[in-house]
Amino acid sequence: MAKRKEDRALERNDDLGYPIFVAQNVRDELLAFLRLRGRPSAILCDANRNVRVLAEEIAQAAGNVPVLRFTLGESRKRLATVERVLDAMVGVGVERSSLVLGIGGGVASDLFGFACAVYMRGVRYAHVATSLVAMVDAAIGGKTGVDLREGKNLAGCFRDPIAVFCGVDALETLPAQAFREGLAEIIKAAIIEGGDLFALLEELAPHPSRRWPWLELLPAAIKVKTMAVADDRLEAGARATLNLGHTFAHAIERASNYSITHGNAVALGLRAAGLLALRTGRFSRDEHLRVLTLLALVGLPLQTSLSPDAIFTAMRSDKKKSGGRLRFVLPRAIGDVEYGVECADRTVRAVLGRLAHPPENVRARR
């Protein structure tokens, strides 16, 4: 595999008015940033051992900053945890003018970002992203929040961080499943973006993803998100393109009682969106096959034993349906997606029926 951009130690994206740094190791950049913007009053971190080690290192280097650790995971992305975070911040004397640093994956950026948005009506927050999902998706765009009993991400607010730091080094310890979760979102971004990003993924797909040139890939994937968010902060229009595959994915997660993870559901959702686009005359069979091949090569699923009826029922109650009608984001081509598309129920059901069967002509995983 060709080595790329070895000379570029640091990438910086300012599309959203705050810097998103990508480097092999972001420690130096982070410390320089903190020297400029002030010593943080607290570091909030995911209690995961690898994340904790990183947090302790940064805390020491930044001048003995108190580290507050929380056992996270999706089941703890709840208001009760937010309350514990807020209490702990009071305990170490975080003030209205303080800067707080969060470290962890997407659960951490959603939950700590939300806690800092409401703590004393808002303290400055910067996030060190340690998972692929946090780097390319969750930590960017200002959506923060927690889950309620009735569903995921039902309580929260829009609040931008003052900076995001993505260190490729952190990915080395990321568990395989968490890694795949991120790959699903990156493939989604590549379908939206098309061009070089999709072609690069096709070239890399046969190689183990941990060895991909992340210093090049992360900024490209982040760019897709920042461009969609920049013009549409509150998700009134174009930001919806980021939901490609997600109307199906959310329903699949719910119908499986969350035994199918978000990333796996996104892969199935991308297949379903492609099928729906094919059936409604939008997408070419050849490009659909390229998408499926990419998903299969990185080990994402294309088939589920869930009943199509159960998925359809879950879809009907999806919170993203607007005006009581289901709307889809569908590809017209790799690099050209359309949002707000309404489709006949029977066509949607037919597509869901196909998910029970393997796709034809797709190469098996390496």
Ligand X SMILES: NC(=O)c1ccc[n+]([C@@H]2O[C@H](COP(=O)([O-])OP(=O)(O)OC[C@H]3O[C@@H](n4cnc5c(N)ncnc54)[C@H](O)[C@@H]3O)[C@@H](O)[C@H]2O)c1
Binding site for ligand X (CB under 6 A): 46, 48, 50-51, 72-74, 77, 104-108, 110, 130-131, 133-134, 137-138, 141, 143, 152-153, 170, 173-175, 178, 181
Distance from C-alpha of 47 to C-alpha of 70, rounded to nearest angstrom: 5
Active site residue 235: yes
Residue nearer to ligand X on the CB measure, 248 or 283? 248
CB 352 within 8 A of CB 312: yes
**Which residue in 185, 193, 253, 287 is the catalytic one?**
185
User: Which residue's Cβ has the minimum distance to ligand X?
Assistant: 106
Residue nearer to ligand X on the CB measure, 254 or 288? 254
CB 273 within 8 A of CB 245: yes
Apex 51 CA angle, 107 and 27, nearest 5: 110
Element (H, E) at 166: strand 163-167
CB 184 within 8 A of CB 140: no
Closest CA to 105 of 130, 126, 82, 127: 130
Residue nearer to ligand X on the CB measure, 52 or 354? 52
Strand (E) positions, 274-360?
A: 328-333, 336-341
Min dist CB 204 to ligand X, Å, is 21
Tokens at 206, concatenated: 């046969």
**Which residue in 188, 223, 254, 262 is the catalytic one?**
262
Min dist CB 34 to ligand X, Å, is 20
Closest CA to 178 of 3, 284, 23, 46: 46
Element (H, E) at 227: helix 214-230
Measured from the Cβ of residue 235, the count of other Cβ atoms closer than 10 Å reads 16
Min dist CB 201 to ligand X, Å, is 19
**Which residue in 11, 77, 188, 243 is the catalytic one?**
243
* 42 strand-pairing partners: 100
Min dist CB 4 to ligand X, Å, is 23
Distance from C-alpha of 89 to C-alpha of 42, rounded to nearest angstrom: 7
Min dist CB 268 to ligand X, Å, is 17
CB 31 within 8 A of CB 163: no
- Calculate the CA 180 to chain-centre distance: 11
**Which residue in 180, 246, 271, 288 is the catalytic one?**
246
| Residue written as token pair 């909030």 | 44
Residue nearer to ligand X on the CB measure, 73 or 340? 73
Active site residue 121: yes
Apex 78 CA angle, 73 and 79, nearest 5: 150
Residue nearer to ligand X on the CB measure, 46 or 160? 46
Min dist CB 343 to ligand X, Å, is 25
**Which residue in 127, 188, 223, 225 is the catalytic one?**
225
**Which residue in 69, 223, 239, 271 is the catalytic one?**
239
**Distance set, CA 261 to CA 6, 206, 251 (Å):** 34, 23, 12
Min dist CB 147 to ligand X, Å, is 7
Active site residue 250: yes
**Which residue in 3, 121, 346, 357 is the catalytic one?**
121
Distance from C-alpha of 61 to C-alpha of 183, rounded to nearest angstrom: 32
Active site residue 143: yes
Which residues are part of the catalytic machinery?
A: 121, 143, 185, 225, 235, 239, 243, 246, 250, 262
